[in-house]
Structure 1
Amino acid sequence: MNTRVTIHEVLKTIIKPKNVKVDEPLSNHTFTKTGGKADFLVFPETNKEVQDVYQYAMQQQISITIIGFGSNLIIRDGGIRGIVMSLKKLNSIQIKGTKIITQSGAAISDVSKFALSQSQTGLEFACGIPGSVGGAVHMNAGAYGGEIKDVIKECVVINKNSDLITLNKEQIGLSYRKSHVAEQGHIILEVIFELNPGVYEEIHAKMDDFTLQRQRKQPLEYPSCGSVFKRPLGHFAGKLIQESGLQGKQIGGAQVSTRHAGFIVNIDKATATDYIKLIQHIQNTVKSKLGVELETEVKVIGEDLK
């Protein structure tokens, strides 16, 4: 019988007890600073621990949810039942020739900086992306004309059968803010990027320029989940929101940023419900006024507050 006590005790035999949290507020683990509690939140430190927790959850039919940094995520105020597994402690970064081999819990911005330190070019665009490597691959993250699909070679994942398999670039299936990996529910453990030798000073200058652009345009002073909507064909989401008269619109503590209308910021103890209501209001208003459907880039998961 899967009582909370039993699940807790078993999890502490699979990974270190200090890495198992009960009823943990997920607002501590999302960039929006919103989200209800996880029944169990675990932080594996090895690929085997990830595999063992996943196998246990599958065998016992316990719901399991994988998160990275929570940078592109809204977790509803009712939280998440079952086991939530954060991969942020799997964060090693290594180099082999022009290949950078990194675990999925490393920050993609740290991988970009590591590439700079090795004078490898190709990942400059990622220097300001706030998510994990795994999250970046899941959604084919991109910025300033670059995307993960431009530099990825292969990745190691756990599939639905709990097997460790290696996928090549075609099997990963990256397109605009999508991947086969995400669609098939694979857990990314390791990613190999194929870069090119470059000139340190040129790479550094490009990263400095991207950082300056980001600081000028984005509302970095408030918690947010980054760019909320995908870019509609032939349009820019932020411009559409601005044209619809929504810049500065606020519901609860969530506000359409006055600096960049594509962002929703937490300016006053916003809840996930505030965020979701504001997202829906934006979608309805833009559709009504301009006839364009806005699709969310941010992922919304979890249960509503009862």
Structure 2
Amino acid sequence: MYQDIYDIIPADRVKFDEPMAQHTTFQIGGPADIMVIPTTVEEIINVLRYCHQRDLPLFVFGLGSNILVRDKGIRGMVMKLGEGLKTVCIQGQQVYAEAGVKMADLCRMVAREGLSGLEFAEGIPGSLGGAVVMNAGAYDGEMKDVIISVSAVDLSGVRYDFSAEQLQLGYRSSIFQAGGYIVLSAQLKLEPGDPEAIFATMAEYARRRRDKQPLDMPSAGSTFKRPKGLFVGPLLEQLGLKGFQIGGAQVSTKHAGFIVNTDNASAADVMNLIQYIQETARSKLGVELHPEVKLVGEE
């Protein structure tokens, strides 16, 4: 059915019935019908046009750090970014970076150049593209503080440039979350700073993460968006949910704001746990919790 895909992507970067569990930080997820791994903008656009012409469903992801793939997997085409698109150009205080660059690598690159503003990204496990899509943030910093513009392509292969204002960046949200576009690159503006001081701040953030977060366990990062005026971890502790487990999915004993995969958890385990937490918070405290993790795939 997909044999002509080799006309646009080399065979070594095309995978059939590929387990998504091997491509997500949760280590959970059924098979993708077909996964392609483009390494250039041209290949991305060719894949988009291939799917558009065939009316083929398409799911695009980067390093798999903020998604939960259902147990039956994903039908149609899956495009994995992050193997390429890693160009970074620094000119003065402005930084051009492609979507496949790891945020942890990018913040170190700019720190070496004496540029401040991305220290918060030191421990963010995803790529720049994913960070833009969800307006990633931590430690009182977020992507909207540094973005000047973003280049993206729509699902028919047409390129667009968006100003920061057009992106509608809010708490863990942007126009890209509605789908319809793939982020290719971003232009950032940072502030001059002392490299030693910048690295010291990053080291402190790293220490806090190690001390407080379950970095040694598979997870998708923070499970829920933060309710206004509240912190999810202490809230779930108050409800007695720290350590609560359904199947192989557990509310982390180190930080209750994380759900971790303790023992071959299924996506169903995680979803059941999320729903139980939501129902408990709603019934006992009147608090609505909204997942930060994106759920994808066939039910």
TM-score normalized with structure 1 length? 0.95
Partner of 1:169: 164
1:96 pairs, out of 78, 91, 116, with: 91
Partner of 2:22: 28
> Do structure 1's residue 105 and structure 2's residue 105 form an aligned pair?
no
What is the distance in 1 between the residues matched to 2:15 and 2:72?
Answer: 17
Q: Is the 8 A contact 2:48 2:155 kept in 1?
A: no
Amino acid at match of 1:130: P
Which structure 2 residue ranges, 5 or more long, are not aligned? none
1:251 pairs, out of 246, 252, 256, with: 246
TM-score normalized with structure 2 length? 0.98
1:87 pairs, out of 54, 73, 81, with: 81
> Do structure 1's residue 54 and structure 2's residue 58 form an aligned pair?
no
1:275 pairs, out of 266, 270, 275, with: 270
Q: Is the 8 A contact 2:29 2:266 kept in 1?
A: yes
Partner of 2:7: 13
Which structure 1 residue ranges, 5 or more long, are not aligned? none
| Secondary structure, counterpart of 1:279 in structure 2 | helix
Alignment of 1:82-231 (within 5 A): 82-89=76-83, 90-231=85-226
What is the distance in 2 between the residues matched to 1:33 and 1:110?
Answer: 22
Query: CA-to-partner distance for each residue in 1:226-282, whole Å, 9 max, x for gaps?
Result: 100000112111121111111100111110001100000111111111111111111
Partner of 1:64: 58
What is the distance in 1 between the residues matched to 2:39 and 2:126?
Answer: 18
1:184 Cα deviation from its structure 2 partner: 4.7
CA RMSD for the aligned pairs? 1.0
1:69 Cα deviation from its structure 2 partner: 0.8
1:94 Cα deviation from its structure 2 partner: 2.2
Q: Is the 8 A contact 1:173 1:181 kept in 2?
A: no
What is the distance in 1 between the residues matched to 2:19 and 2:91?
Answer: 39
Amino acid at match of 2:243: G
